[in-house]
Every structure is written in structure tokens, then in C-alpha cells.
Amino acid sequence: MKNVFIILSIILLFIACKTTKDITSQTVDIVEEKKEIMETAKEVYVSEMLNKVSSIAAPITKRVDHEMTIHGDTRNDPYYWMKLTDEQKNANPYDAHTQEVVDYLNAENKYTDAMTNHLEGFSTNLFEEIKGRIKQSDMSVPYLQNGYYYITRYEEGKEYPIYSRKKGTLDAEEEIMLNVNEMAEGYDFFNVSGRTISEDNKILCYGEDTLSRRIYTLKFKQLQDGKLLEDKIENTTGYCIWANDNKTIFYVRKDDALRPYKIFKHILGTDPATDVEVFHEKDETFNTYISKSKSKKYLIIGSYATVSNEYQILDADNPNGSWKTFTPRERNLEHSISHYGDKWYITTNKDGATNFKLMTCPEEKTEAGNWSDFIAHRPDVLLSYIDIFKDFYVLGERAEGFTRLKVVKWDGSDEYYIDFGEKAITAYTSVNPDFDQKLLRIGYTSMTTPSSTYDFDVNTKEKTLLKQQEVLGEFNAADYQSEMQTALSRDGVKIPISVVYKKGTELNSETPLLLYAYGSYGSSMDPYFSSARLSLLNRGFVYAIAHIRGGQEMGRQWYEDGKMLKKKNTFNDFIDCGEHLVKNNYTSKDKLFAMGGSAGGLLMGAIMNMRPDLWKGVVAAVPFVDVVTTMLDETIPLTTGEFDEWGNPKNKEYYDYIKTYSPYDNVEAKEYPATLVTTGFHDSQVQYWEPAKWVAKLRHHKIGNQPLLLKTNMEAGHGGKSGRFERLKEVAFEYAFLLDLAGIKE
């Protein structure tokens, strides 16, 4: 019995030890598993902005009823009071109303700073990283014009360009025409535009803007001794055109709505107050400008609206002569003109040429009845422009969504397309100021190819690379992959999407993707390289451009199908592109981001209202979001000239249609995605109050805890800060916002 007890005790002890061992083993496994989970959790970063939304109070501004009635419909805009005139914005000191608006914008900036202060180091690092890819001591490819080589160059650490020239040869002594770094000292914003030189090479005319309203003061500089002339002309578009007498210039002034509307003639050494008005564009739907033919024989006054053009011409040797109308303006007749030899060459949509064709007419018989076909209309090819030379001409075309260049010899001996080695590119003729050129200056870029400038021999078809954008650091184009996707829109149209990512990036539901588009004015968003974008790609982002209707990527009809009463195709296309990328496992709704600016900001506002669930985050830069109110206010810049883009809401049909998509008018109680909105206090194109009102209204109505940020640059306008590096700080901040939401903190 005793032995049995001993044996039983041994068995129980063995079982106990084994159980203890198993429990210990399981405990170790559990601890290890928990440790692994904790380590994994450390890697999953959740944006602090999501936590701050509930702990930091957002600015809540007052609401004041402002009812607007038209077509029997009344809209109430409780934030209309935010609108200020230029006089109020520029007053010193501010009146009480202006101060209240400024205080609100500053409060929003303070809130944005508080919501993103955890990103300060990250944003700074991104800025330094992006800046570090730029060759700071750099210069453009020199081009020869009228006996001088002209150069734009930058110096180490400097924000602004230096414009210089060399006479006859690149070995000649450099003549500095403008050092913008010195000129910009003491200004928060500074921009130089429209540098034109008299035909005798002695005097430079240029424009200065120190407010970012794109209102320039013309100044004149003697290039022999560097002295400024006393002539100074205020309120211009920033450029002048010289007559061939080297003393007479023509320039354009803007009206109160910043519409270029009058052209004046100025003679150097005279009081600008006595300048003669040579043309007044009285139709408020048209803008005007002045140019000079490449042949230097003609001065050309152009008037243009969305669907119509008109030109007046004058012998440049006779600036006091009478201007002649090229052909009377006609609605829906669009054309551009180039002079060469004894003919004019006209790129036009005449006679239903939707994708444009090339016509000619005798030099002295310019009316449309004298035009004859030179290159017939092609339904599958958009003719963008012609560049003319002594022995050949070049056609800028667009086919199957992409740009291409066709060289044609005048004598008929040869014609061909320039081969760039890849299809999905942006190709263009560069600076070619003279007819008598044996080498053609061209440029091209793609999603993976930095901007490249070549001299192209039209006879041997050889390209000589003059300069490729240098990307400092460990950049290798072969490390990146670009491809084309095609989304099927809800109405059965195929929408191209350009995609780029770093090789090795896994494409799945966890992949962050930024989708960008514009989609208005027939402006095509062609594939292009961005060194700043590498900061996203290197962190696992995919970047995509949606070539939506409203641009001209697929021809002129692509534009026609994305404006006026078809404008909602633009928004639907973008949403359908986003859906396509999610469906095809490039990303997921929780990792899909959207970005657009100006009219692309309108796109952002629309897609947020239409499909707020599809986007993790949205960046809307200087967004045009209050379409109905703006298009009803003809005192606001750009309004009257855009009736053929959006429609005139004074017409009930357009009013009703615009109201269905105008972002500001369609804000509702929805859970909107995380949103960053940027604007400039002095913006002349999309007035600051549009994004400011939109954010205030979104704050009032939105539900959920997604961050909503407004960042107003109080010293800048539509283009943001001046200076090549200061602008990058804005890019870095936007990237930090997106990366943070994507769970990437470094």
C-alpha cells in the first residue's frame, strides 16, 4: 500500500510538474505574443490631430443673415460679412469690420497651428529634404536672341533669380540685368514679370508686384549703366511690347475687377499721365493683351473670351499708325495667328473643326473669307499650336491623351514625330525666338523623367541633352514605376489615370494614394516629374493624376464635355477614378487622399459633398467654392470672362444647375473627411473669403471628429509665397498633413 502511495505520489508530482511546465510555456507564449502585438502597435501611428479635435476648441465665428433672391429663389449666406474690398484690406489702420475679419482669419491660423504643432519637426524635416534635392547654384539653358545669350540663374541659399546676358558668346562677360534678391529686400512678397528688351538691346522693361494681387508697376532700366529711368507706370499686367523705334512701348491696364481692358501707348521720357489710349475692350466678357509677331513686323492686340478671339494688327515700324482688324470677332470662332513671309497662319476651329485645323491667308487679306485650309481638321488629333522656322515648322499636337511634336519641312522632303522613347510624356517646343534656326530647342518630362531640355537637329534627328533637372541625393529614375490606368465613368467614358510609385511599394488596401486633378478651362494635367513628390513616393505613397473631363487631354470635346451644363462630369469622373483605384486594390477608402487647387479646389469641394466617405483626407488649395454668389457678382475679378466656362447664373437654367454642385451651397450635416484648406489674403483670382466662408459653414454643419483646418497666408495671393524655397514650406506642410493622416510620422 505504501508502495502504491509512493507510485501515486510520483505520478501526481509528474502531472503537476508537466502542468506547471505547460502553463509556464503558455504564459511565455502569451507574453511573447503580447510583446509582439505591442511592438506592432508601436509601428501603427495614429494622427494626434484626431485626438486634438475633441480637446482644442475650433474658432466659431458669428452668423449674420444675408438673403439673396433671384429667379424666385432665396439663399441665405450667414458668412457674407467676411467679404472685404481691396481698400479695406490695404487700409492702415483697419476699421472695425476689417479687423473683425482679420481676427477671424488669424484665429483660424492659430487653431491650425495648435492642431498641427506636433508636425512642426516633421514639416521642417520634409522642407529640408525637399529643398535638399534642389541644386541651389543653378542656371537655365542660355538662349540666343538678337545677338545676346540670356540666362536665369540662382545662387546658393538665395530665394530669387538673377537675370543676366552675355553678348555674342557664352565666354563673354556677364551683364547682370536684374538681381531680384537685392530688389526683394524688405518685402514680404516680391515678384518680377514681363522682362522685355528694346530692339537695340539698350533698355529693359519689367514689372514689379509687391502685394501678390498681380497688379504690376512697369519700370525701365538702361542696360549700359544700370540706371533706372524716371518713367514708372502703375496698375499694369506687368509687361510691355516695344515698337521697332526703341522708344515707344505699349502696355495693358486693369479695371477695378482686375480685368485687362485698356491698352496704352507710352513714349519714353514722357509723363505716363499723358499716355494715349489706343484700345478699350468694352465687352466685359473679353480680356485684352498686346504682343509682337515672331517676325517682329507686326504689333498685335488680342481680345479673347472663352469661345471667341479677335485681333488687331499694326506695322511695328509705324507705332503711330492705324490699327487694322484682322477679322471681326464672331461667337464660337476661336483662332490664334502667326506671321511668316507673306502669309498669316491661323490655328482655328472654323467650320466646325472641333480639334482645330491650320489655315492660311495672304498678309494683306486677313478677313475670314480669305482663309484657306493648310492642315485639315483631324477628329482624333488636337492641334494645339504651330511654331514656324525658315526651313521647317513644328506642330504641337495631342493624341490618345498625350502631347507630341511633329516636324514638317517646308519643301515637303520630310515630316516625322520626334521620338522621346516613352509615350506618357509632356513634350513641348521651348524658347525659339528666331526663324533662322538649324537646331530646335525642345523639352519634355514624364512622371519618372526630370524636366529635360534638348537641342534637336531636324535633319539628323539627333537630340543633344543640354540640361536635365538635377535631383540631388540618392535619386535614380529607375527606382520608380509609372503606368496608366483607365477608369470607366458612370456614363461609359474611359478616363485615363497617370500613376507613379516607388518600385517595391506593395499595392493593396493599406497603400496610401494621393489623387490629383484640375479639370477646368481646357487645361490639361499632363504627366510631369516633381522632385518634391519623391517625399511621398519614398514613404510608400502612390501618386495619381486623374485626366478628367474639363481638361483637353483627350481632345477639345473632352473640355466641352466638362463645362457649362456638363460640369458635373468633371466631379463624377474624379470620383469614378477614385473608385477604380480602390476596386483595383491600389488603395482603400481609408488610405485614399485627394488634392486640387483653384478650380481644382472647386473639384475638391464638390467631391467632398458628393462622396465624403470615399476620402481619408482632402487638401483644397485656394479653392473656388462659392460659385453661385461669385458668378452673380460682376465686380469680382474674373467673373464676366467666365460665363462661357460655368454659365451665367442670371440665366435661370444655369443658376439652377450651378446651385446643384456649388460646394458652399451644398454643405450639409455630414461626416466630411479630414480637410486642409489654404488661401491667400490678397488672392486676386479666388478671393480669400470663399475658402474662409466655406470652412466656417463646414464647421457649423459637419458631424464627426475629422480635423478641418484653414491656413491663410496674410502676405500672399493666389500663387502663395514668393521665393523658390518659401513656396516649398507650404508643400512640406501639406505633405506633413497627408502623411500624418496616413499614419506616417517620419
pLDDT in tens, 113-168: 999 999 999 999 999 999 999 988 888 999 999 999 999 999 988 889 999 999 99
Tell me which of 607 and 41 has the higher pLDDT. 607
Q: Which residues pair with 336 in a beta bridge?
A: 347
CA triple 39-739-612, angle to 5 deg: 110
Task: Find out whether 721 and 189 touch, Cβ atoms under 8 Å.
Answer: yes
Question: What is d(CA 628, CA 633) in angstroms, rounded to the nearest whole number?
Answer: 9
- The pLDDT of residue 438 is 85
Per-residue confidence band for 684, with pLDDT thresholds at 50, 70 and 90:
confident
Per-residue confidence band for 101, with pLDDT thresholds at 50, 70 and 90:
very high
- The pLDDT of residue 719 is 58
> Which of 377, 547, 580, 718 is labelled catalytic?
718
Q: Which of 135-144, 459-468, 577-586 has the lowest mean pLDDT?
A: 135-144
Residue 371 has pLDDT above 70, yes or no: yes
* Each residue's pLDDT tens digit, 252-291: 999 988 889 999 999 999 999 999 999 999 999 999 999 9
**What cell was used for 600?**
481644382
Told to judge if 644 belongs to the known catalytic residues of this protein, a careful annotator would answer no
> Which of 164, 482, 598, 684 is labelled catalytic?
598
Per-residue confidence band for 720, with pLDDT thresholds at 50, 70 and 90:
low
Told to judge if 683 belongs to the known catalytic residues of this protein, a careful annotator would answer yes
Question: What is d(CA 623, CA 678) in angstroms, rounded to the nearest whole number?
Answer: 8
* pTM given for the model: 0.89
Per-residue confidence band for 516, with pLDDT thresholds at 50, 70 and 90:
very high
Q: Can you tell me which residue has the cell 500500500?
A: 1
Question: What is d(CA 670, CA 194) in angstroms, rounded to the nearest whole number?
Answer: 47
Other Cβ atoms within 10 Å of 66 Cβ, number: 14
- The pLDDT of residue 69 is 98
Chain centroid to CA 511: 26
> Which of 77, 573, 626, 683 is labelled catalytic?
683
Secondary structure (DSSP) of 436-489: S-SEEEEEEEESSS--EEEEEETTT--EEEEEE--B-SS--GGGEEEEEEEEEP
Residue 240 has pLDDT above 70, yes or no: yes
* Each residue's pLDDT tens digit, 179-200: 999 999 998 888 999 899 999 9
- The pLDDT of residue 247 is 97
- The pLDDT of residue 580 is 98
- The pLDDT of residue 34 is 36
Question: What is d(CA 642, CA 33) in angstroms, rounded to the nearest whole number?
Answer: 63
Task: Find out whether 500 and 482 touch, Cβ atoms under 8 Å.
Answer: yes
Question: What is d(CA 436, CA 296) in angstroms, rounded to the nearest whole number?
Answer: 13
Residue 37 has pLDDT above 80, yes or no: no
Told to judge if 280 belongs to the known catalytic residues of this protein, a careful annotator would answer no
Per-residue confidence band for 44, with pLDDT thresholds at 50, 70 and 90:
low
Residue 299 has pLDDT above 90, yes or no: yes
Query: Which of 689, 679, 678, 676 minimizes the C-alpha distance to 717?
Result: 679
Helix (H) or strand (E) holding 174: none
- The pLDDT of residue 213 is 75
Radius of gyration (Cα) for the chain, nearest Å? 30
Other Cβ atoms within 10 Å of 68 Cβ, number: 14
Mean pLDDT taken over the chain? 91
